[in-house]
Amino acid sequence: KEKYEHIKKQHYKGEKLAIFCLPGLDNFIHDIADILSHIYEVKLVVTTDSNEIVQAYNWADIIWLEWANELTVEITNELPKGNKKIVCRLHSYEALKYFPKKIKWENIDTLIIVSKHVGEILKKFHPDAYKRIKQIRIIPNGVDLNKFTFSKKAHGHNIAVIGDISYKKDPAAWLQVIGFLKEKVSNQYKLHIAGKPNDAGEGARYLNYFEHFLRESDLQENVKIYGYVRDVNSFLEDKNFILSTSIHEGHPYNIMEAMARGIKPIIHNYHGAKEQWPEELVYNFFFEIEEIVKDDYDSIKYRSFVENKYSLERQIDNILKLLESR
């Protein structure tokens, strides 16, 4: 905080920043809003209430639209831009939906994307909308390293999965991976699943499948399901690996947070994975995972990777440069 108070004394102009986000999607914006509040007057508006949205919009000099979704469609089409600076941050799923076709891109000064491949996906599925975007800036997500205690880890048998139980995470693959490791490497491997269903119906399907498959495959002693875990730092304390089997990601926090703790990741090769992570940690097929779990283990390397590329400080510096540019 002292660092940003110093920046505020140098750069504070009394500008008002309103950040708009739909309820339930504000997971990734709180750290940013808290830090920017030391430099700007900030209102974090997490609501669907039209009156509240309009009041905050009229109050602000700078508008931040968190997610390029239906809220951004509504604001850009219904409210006048005037002299406001408007930025929008697109994470990942929005590029696969109809939203980019409906957004009034003429009213957005800069689109922030969290990775290069998200821009490629946006261009592929929405070429006409892509042409209307004035400016694109890549600002990767950042981890508050103070919240994740580094300790030297080593080869072991505890594998963590952290994330919503949803189709894009490919939860069925979690059980295939632990089954493979149990049969081919060691029956001591255990999978620890921290996450809740992203959608009630979808989640119920997976939870029903888990119960059935664990019983049928004799994996009940090798898999533990925790549900939603608030304290990720503590959950990761005794874990040796973090597993990501996702088929689509923007810039996933679960991998960054585990690496910050010194944990080795096992990452399926989704579009963009090899651009974001060390290639030797990315697999195509299950049989390649055996080499990852047996290969060299270097906690300092994993922590340093996140410190150098994906720290919250680095993210904030990039955001400030964008917001201060005209």
Q: What is the mean pLDDT of residues 72-84?
A: 97
Question: What is residue 67's predicted lDDT score, i.e. its pLDDT?
Answer: 97
Question: What is residue 42's predicted lDDT score, i.e. its pLDDT?
Answer: 96
Q: Name the band, by pLDDT with cuts 50, 70 and 90, for residue 5.
A: low
| Sheet of strand 85-90, all strands in order from the earlier edge strand to the far edge | 41-46, 16-21, 62-66, 85-90, 110-113, 136-138
What is the per-residue pLDDT across 214-269, written as a single tens digit (0 to 9) for each?
999 999 999 999 999 999 999 999 999 999 999 999 999 999 999 999 999 999 99
Q: What is the mean pLDDT of residues 99-117?
A: 98
CATH topology match: 2-142+311-324 vs 145-309: yes
Name the fold adopted by 2-142+311-324. Rossmann fold (3.40.50)
Q: Is the pLDDT of residue 302 over 70?
A: yes
Tokens of 283: 């697999």
3-state DSSP of the chain: CHHHHHHHHHHCCCCEEEEEECCCCCCCCHHHHHHHCCCCEEEEEECCCHHHHHHHHHHCCEEEEECCCHHHHHHHHHCCCCCCEEEEEECCHHHHCCHHHHCCHHHCCEEEECCHHHHHHHHHHCHHHHHCCCCEEECCCCECHHHCCCCCCCCCCEEEEECCECHHHCHHHHHHHHHHHHHHCCCCCEEEEECCECCHHHHHHHHHHHHHHHHHHCCCCCEEEEECCCCHHHHCCCCCEEEECCCCCCCCHHHHHHHHCCCEEEEECCCCHHHHCCHHHEECCHHHHHHHHHCCCCHHHHHHHHHHHCEHHHHHHHHHHHHHCC
Tokens of 269: 């090769």
Higher pLDDT, 200 or 301: 301
Give the whole-angstrom CA distance, residue 208 versus residue 171: 12
Give the whole-angstrom CA distance, residue 282 versus residue 271: 11
Q: Is the pLDDT of residue 3 over 80?
A: no
Q: What is the mean pLDDT of residues 74-97?
A: 97
Question: What is residue 80's predicted lDDT score, i.e. its pLDDT?
Answer: 97
Question: What is residue 198's predicted lDDT score, i.e. its pLDDT?
Answer: 74
Q: What is the mean pLDDT of residues 197-206?
A: 79
What is the per-residue pLDDT across 159-189, written as a single tens digit (0 to 9) for each?
999 998 989 999 999 999 999 999 999 999 9
Contact 72, 99 (CB under 8 A): yes
Length of the chain: 326
Q: Name the band, by pLDDT with cuts 50, 70 and 90, for residue 4.
A: low
Contact 271, 117 (CB under 8 A): yes
Using left for φ > 0, alpha for ψ between -120 and 50, and beta otherwise, residue 283 falls in beta
Q: Name the band, by pLDDT with cuts 50, 70 and 90, for residue 7.
A: low
| Sheet of strand 264-268, all strands in order from the earlier edge strand to the far edge | 223-227, 190-194, 158-162, 241-244, 264-268, 282-283
The domain limits of the chain are 2-142+311-324, 145-309
What is the per-residue pLDDT across 60-70, written as a single tens digit (0 to 9) for each?
999 999 999 99
Q: For residue 87, how many C-alpha atoms fall within 13 Å in the half-sphere facing its CB?
A: 22
Q: What is the mean pLDDT of residues 106-134?
A: 97
End-to-end CA distance of the chain: 26
Give the whole-angstrom CA distance, residue 272 versus residue 176: 23
Give the whole-angstrom CA distance, residue 207 versus residue 201: 10
Count Cβ atoms below 10 Å from residue 198 Cβ, excluding itself: 15
Q: Is the pLDDT of residue 326 over 70?
A: no
Mean pLDDT over each residue of the chain, to the nearest integer: 95
Distances (CA, A) of 238 to 95, 157, 179, 307: 36, 10, 21, 21
Q: Is the pLDDT of residue 9 over 70?
A: no
Check whether domain 145-309 has CATH 3.40.50.2000, yes or no: yes
Q: Is the pLDDT of residue 87 over 60?
A: yes
Q: Name the band, by pLDDT with cuts 50, 70 and 90, for residue 293.
A: very high
**39 φ/ψ angles, rounded to the nearest 5 degrees:** -120, -35
Q: Is the pLDDT of residue 101 over 90?
A: yes
Q: Is the pLDDT of residue 6 over 90?
A: no
